Amino acid sequence: HSLGGGIALVVGSLTGHLAVAIQPPGVYHSLAKHHTQQATMHSSHAVHTRSVSLVVEGDWVQNFDGHGGLVQTMSCDQTQKSVVIGCHLLEGAICHLLRHCGDQAQRFAACQHDYKPISTALSVVGSAMEFFRGSWQMSYLASHWDSAAMASLFVSAIAVARYGAPALPRPIFQ
């Protein structure tokens, strides 16, 4: 998936092996560089004959280069989600395949994928805050406040020396 899928396409082409990639970046034009640098026995057309790429409309990752080989395009079910990543999630692509192609072996009863970036981001920030609160003890900072003050003064002096002092706001009334 994604960059890993692009790497699989390059390695498959260079070694003559079949490669299947889900939502990879295009590798067609950049692959020519690898074929000229590597004295490969395999044809430079291996990407056309031995690769399969599944791309999703609206996924920006696929637009980095051209695609070679068999390219299957499917629609994005997550267009109401984040424009940046909503159509690039592997979970969404797998659920789309299961809904539209089915599972004849009946290994999956259903597939549901919920993409909630705001609640996930808030959860990550909360966990990070708890981690820092637990690992950075206030007693250490309180017992070494003079060292902390000197360190911040030193860093400020370096910043002023490097970038200059910030402009002070002028009073409105003169």
Q: Which residue has the higher pLDDT, 157 or 69?
A: 69
Q: What sign for the dihedral angle of Cα 25, 31, 37, 42?
A: positive
pTM above threshold 0.75: no
Share of the chain above pLDDT 90, in %: 11
DSSP string, 121-153: HHHHHHHHHHHHHHHS-HHHHHHTHHHHHHHHH
pLDDT surpassing 60 at residue 1:
yes
pLDDT averaged over every residue in the chain: 78
pLDDT single digits (tens) 71-110: 999 988 776 666 667 788 888 888 888 888 888 888 887 8
Share of the chain above pLDDT 70, in %: 74
Q: What is the DSSP letter of 63?
A: G
Q: What's residue 95's pLDDT?
A: 85
What are phi and psi for residue 32, nearest 5 degrees? -60, -35
pLDDT single digits (tens) 16-30: 899 999 999 988 888
d(CA 9, CA 16): 10
Q: What's residue 94's pLDDT?
A: 87
